[in-house]
Amino acid sequence: MHLKSLSLINYKNFTSRSFDFDAKINCMVGANGIGKTNVLDAIYHLSNGKSYFNPITSQNINHDASFFVIEGEYLKDDRPEKVIISAKKGQKKIIKRNGKNYDRFSEHIGFLPSVIISPAYRDLITEGSEKKIY
């Protein structure tokens, strides 16, 4: 699976911004607060239907806006897949794949697997699998 491009409108600190990604390794470099983690969170959002860092959807809308749109263009099993998540204050979040609305978010979960590894989960990698995380 390859996330080819990501475009964000009013997602957190981004008002309008697009990114193209390589099929292998991508590095993001920039000053503190520029939005690197927010880009990762937008990708997580496309996979999991919600933010990793702040599951309260309205708080992920840019402070000066009333909606956000996250759009990802993927190649999966050699097929193009376009996923769009949009949220408007006071309305139910919408998730679409190739132009078609999902009835339930749960139908989408697992289609575009992604995880965020944060320092809080470091022990899962370095320690045994019985380690509990609180």
Ligand X SMILES: Nc1ncnc2c1ncn2[C@@H]1O[C@H](COP(=O)(O)OP(=O)(O)O)[C@@H](O)[C@H]1O
Per CB under 5 A, residues contacting Mg ion are: 36-37
Rank residues 64 and 78 by Cβ distance to ligand X and give the closer one.
Answer: 64
Rank residues 10 and 38 by Cβ distance to Mg ion and give the closer one.
Answer: 38
Rank residues 98 and 118 by Cβ distance to ligand X and give the closer one.
Answer: 118
23 binds, among ligand X, Mg ion, none (CB under 5 to 8 A by kind): none
In terms of Cα–Cα distance, which of 94, 37, 104 is closest to 69?
A: 94
Give the interface with ligand X as residue ranges (CB under 6 A). 12-13, 30, 32-38, 59-63
Which amino acid, residue 131? K
Q: Taking the complex as a whole, how short is the minimal distance between the CB of residue 14 and ligand X, in angstroms? A: 8
Q: Judging by beta carbons within 10 Å of its beta carbon (0-12, 13-18, 19+), is residue 46 exposed, middle or buried?
A: buried
